[in-house]
Amino acid sequence: MISRNFRAMRFIVVALMCVCETTGICRAAQDKESDKPKQPQQKLAVGSKVYIAPMDGFETYLKAAIVKKKVPIELVEQREKADYEITGVSESKKAGAAKIIIMGSWHSAEDASIKVSNLKSGEVVYAYSVHKGNSTHGKQTSAEACAKHLKDEGVASK
C-alpha cells in the first residue's frame, strides 16, 4: 500500500513535469542556445486514436468524461493502436472532522493532472492540472474538468 505522503509527492512531481514540459521551462537552456523561433504547440487532430494509461482507477472516470463531454477523439484499448497516450495522476482527500463540523461540508478535495503525448515523437502536446477543493462527485468532477479542457484547448477545431 502506498503511503499518502508518497502519493502526494508523486502527484506534485507529475504536475510539475507537465507544467515544465508544457511551458518549456525544462528546455530553457536549450532554447537560449538555438535562436529558432518557437513552434506553436501541436494539437490532437479530430478523430485521433488515444490510449489512456492506467492511473489507479482514474482512467475509468476520464474515459467516461471524454465520452460525456463529446471530445472528438477515438479511445482505443491497446497502446499499439494509438497515436497519442494520456498519462497522469489523481488524488482524493476526504473531508476531515473539522471541515465537516465547522464548514458543514463533507465533500472531498480532488487533484488531477493529465498529460497527452505523441507516441511517435514523444512530444507532450497537452497537459492540464485541476484542483477541486469542494468536490460533490469526487473523481468524476476532476475527470470532467480534464475532458472539458482537453476538448476546448487540446483538440484542433474541425
If you compute the radius of gyration of the chain from its CA atoms, what whole number of angstroms results? 17
Q: What is the mean pLDDT of each run of 10 residues along the chain (158 residues)?
A: 59 60 48 43 85 91 93 94 92 58 58 91 90 67 87 82
39 by Cβ neighbours in 10 Å (0-12 / 13-18 / 19+) ranks as: exposed
Check: CB of residue 18 under 8 Å from CB of residue 102.
no
Q: Which three cell numbers stand for residue 56?
A: 489507479
pTM: 0.65
pLDDT of 35: 43
- The three cell numbers of residue 120 are 511517435
Q: What is the pLDDT of residue 117?
A: 94
> Reading across the β-sheet that carries 49-52, which strands appear in turn?
74-76, 49-52, 84-93, 108-118, 124-135
Closest CA to 91 of 142, 150, 128: 142
State the DSSP code for 124. E
In CATH, 4-35+42-154 is 3.30.160: yes
How far is CA 132 from its chain centroid?
14
Q: Name the residue with cell 465533500.
A: 107
